């Protein structure tokens, strides 16, 4: 029969303390701005920048598409690019 290793309350408390220190360290790096920007703050800023870039690209694409339609209509011979 295999010999089982017993875990004492003292060993359990020591292991628990080490795990809590590690967890606090991870939490500080992820969520707390402690002199440098946290990962969560960086991700939020990147998300805002991406949304702004997409908004500008959408507006530019829409305006470019409208100009293209007007140019095609003008080339087809409609006066004022087909605008009434």
Helices and strands of the chain, counted as H and E runs = 2, 0
What are the residues whose beta carbons fall under 8 Å from the beta carbon of 41, sequence distance 6 or more?
33
Domain boundaries, the chain: 7-36, 41-84
Average pLDDT over residues 8-23: 88
* Residues 77, 62: Cα–Cα separation, whole Å: 23
* Residues 48, 1: Cα–Cα separation, whole Å: 61
Average pLDDT over residues 9-34: 82
At residue 4, does pLDDT exceed 80?
no
Average pLDDT over residues 31-39: 72
- The pLDDT of residue 47 is 96
Rg (CA), the chain: 31
| Average pLDDT taken over every residue of the chain | 83
Tokens of 43: 């991700």
Q: Which ranges constitute the DSSP H helices of 3-38?
A: 9-31
């Amino acid at each position: 029969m295999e010999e089982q290793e017993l875990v004492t309350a003292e060993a359990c408390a020591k292991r628990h303390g080490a795990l809590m220190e590690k967890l606090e360290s991870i939490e500080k790096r992820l969520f707390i701005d402690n002199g440098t920007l946290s990962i969560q703050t960086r991700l939020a800023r990147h998300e805002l920048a991406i949304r702004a870039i997409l908004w500008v690209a959408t507006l530019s694409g829409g305006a470019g598409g409208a100009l293209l339609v007007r140019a095609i209509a003008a080339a087809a011979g409609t006066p004022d690019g087909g605008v009434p």
